[in-house]
């Protein structure tokens, strides 16, 4: 606690800083108390042979070497990348379209916003079980819908070809979160920009390309980064709905990692795997960050193609 004499001397910026730390403290304390220890420990055991039941034996880089020779590691990474590579862009596009729809002014728009956002609140195992019904080849919503057009739908999660696409489709369930962020972004775009564009003779599509997209680019950037981080860690769907099958077609990286850790007594190996996965996510995130000057515009910047003014800072 501050003494009263000191608190009088506090400048406004100091006050703000203190407020900031107070608000951040739950996250920071949580990290220090609950996660930092295990993070460091997992870094250590990734260099050991550890099966939980006996003390870890130092093996140096052996886990990492074996990992890169493990065809299931590569297979699971491939599956995960396909999942992320399709579901992230798809999610970005769908969320943006939904946000634009919900950005209209009409009666009951708040109700629609709530409805579209709700699925993002419900998550995990319950959703997986719900979608199992949606994908049901005989009675599922999806095949019923396709049936209206005379299309005989596939067996979805029961089919080796369709299981992964099924889970990608299912990932759209949680676009509500990024949709909401887009919506906030859309509402932050000054109307005079649109008016100016209209005076210049821009049509709707042109306005979307030249005003909406650039003005939203920081939001797109944020959603892209969060999407990459989230989708590479996909686990629940593969664990609950398909158990990695049929024929390993949905063996996501984290699912395989989980099995190594808890079913095959290879905690050290799984930790090495986790660190590799972390580095992959870090690398991708850094790439996106590095690419941001090319396509992300903040309000104080001038638009247009890579302005030379920023060449020096890169």
Partner 1 sequence: MKKNKTMWMLLIVASMLVTFVAGCSQSGGSGGSGSGEKVTLQFIRWSNGPALDAEEEDKIKRFNESHPNIEVQMTLLPWDETFRKIELSLASNNPVDLFYWDVPAYAWYKKGLFKNLQPYFDKDIDMSQYDAKLFEPFKFDGENMFVAPENYQTLTFYYNKTAFDAAGLDYPNADWTWEDVLAAAQKLTIAEGGKTTQYGFDATALGIWWAWMALSWAQGGSIAADVHEPEAITLDTPETQTALQFVQDMIYKHKVSPDVATKDANGMNFQTGKLAMYVGGDWDLGSLKEITDFEWGMAPIPKWGEGRATPYFMGGYAMAEKTKHPDEAWEFIKWTMTENQETLAKQQSWIPVHNPSRDEAELPDWVPEGYREARFEWLKDGRIGDIYHLKWREATDKFMTPMQDEIFINGGDVKAALANAEKEINALLQSE
62 is a contact residue toward partner 1 (CB under 8 A): no
Looking at the Cβ atoms of 119 and 137, the one nearer to partner 1 is: 137
- Stretch of 8-16, 165-173, 262-270, 289-297 lying at the interface with partner 1 (CB under 8 A): 262-270
Contact with partner 1 (CB under 8 A) among 165, 218, 246, 293: 246
105 is a contact residue toward partner 1 (CB under 8 A): no
164 is a contact residue toward partner 1 (CB under 8 A): no
d(CA 203, CA 220): 23
d(CA 204, CA 172): 26
Nearest CA to 120 among 165, 180, 166? Answer: 180
Q: C-alpha 181: how far from its chain's center?
A: 13
Looking at the Cβ atoms of 99 and 257, the one nearer to partner 1 is: 257
264 is a contact residue toward partner 1 (CB under 8 A): yes
d(CA 82, CA 74): 12
CB of 3 to partner 1, least distance (A): 36
293 is a contact residue toward partner 1 (CB under 8 A): no
258 is a contact residue toward partner 1 (CB under 8 A): yes
d(CA 286, CA 280): 10
41 is a contact residue toward partner 1 (CB under 8 A): yes
Instruction: Identify each DSSP E strand in the chain by its residue range.
Output: 48-49, 57-58
> DSSP class of residue 242?
I
Contact 178, 223 (CB under 8 A): yes
Please give the span between the terminal C-alpha atoms of the chain, in angstroms, as a whole number.
43
Q: Which residues bind partner 1 (CB under 8 A)?
A: 31, 34-35, 37-39, 41-42, 51-54, 72, 124, 136-140, 155, 158-160, 226, 229-230, 233, 235, 244-248, 254, 257-259, 261-265, 270-271, 273-274, 277-278, 281-282
């Amino acid at each position: 606690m501050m003494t009263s004499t000191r608190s009088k001397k506090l400048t406004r910026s100091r006050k703000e800083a203190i407020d900031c730390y107070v608000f951040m403290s739950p996250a920071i304390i949580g990290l220090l108390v609950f996660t930092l220890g295990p993070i460091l420990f997992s870094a250590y055991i990734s260099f050991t042979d550890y099966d939980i039941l006996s003390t870890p034996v130092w093996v140096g880089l052996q886990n990492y070497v074996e990992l890169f020779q493990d065809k299931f590691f590569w297979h699971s990474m491939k599956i995960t990348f396909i999942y992320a590579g399709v579901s992230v862009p798809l999610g970005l596009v769908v969320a943006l379209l939904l946000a634009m729809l919900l950005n209209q002014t009409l009666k009951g728009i708040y109700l629609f916003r709530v409805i579209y956002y709700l699925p993002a609140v419900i998550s995990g195992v319950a959703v997986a079980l719900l979608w199992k019904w949606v994908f049901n080849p005989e009675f599922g919503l999806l095949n019923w819908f396709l049936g209206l057009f005379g299309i005989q739908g596939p067996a979805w999660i029961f089919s080796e070809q369709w299981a992964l696409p099924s889970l990608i489709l299912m990932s759209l369930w949680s676009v509500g979160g990024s949709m909401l962020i887009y919506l906030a972004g859309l509402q932050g775009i000054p109307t005079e920009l649109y008016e100016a564009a209209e005076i210049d003779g821009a049509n709707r599509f042109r306005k979307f390309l030249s005003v909406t997209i650039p003005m939203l680019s920081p939001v797109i950037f944020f959603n892209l980064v969060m999407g990459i981080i989230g989708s590479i860690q996909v686990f629940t769907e593969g664990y609950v709905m398909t158990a990695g099958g049929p024929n390993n077609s949905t063996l996501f990286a984290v699912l395989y990692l989980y099995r190594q850790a808890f079913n095959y007594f290879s905690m050290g190996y799984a930790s090495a795997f986790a660190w590799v996965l972390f580095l992959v996510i870090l690398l991708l995130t850094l790439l996106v960050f590095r690419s941001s000057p090319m396509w992300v515009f903040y309000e104080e910047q001038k638009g247009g193609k890579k302005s030379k003014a920023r060449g020096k800072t890169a």
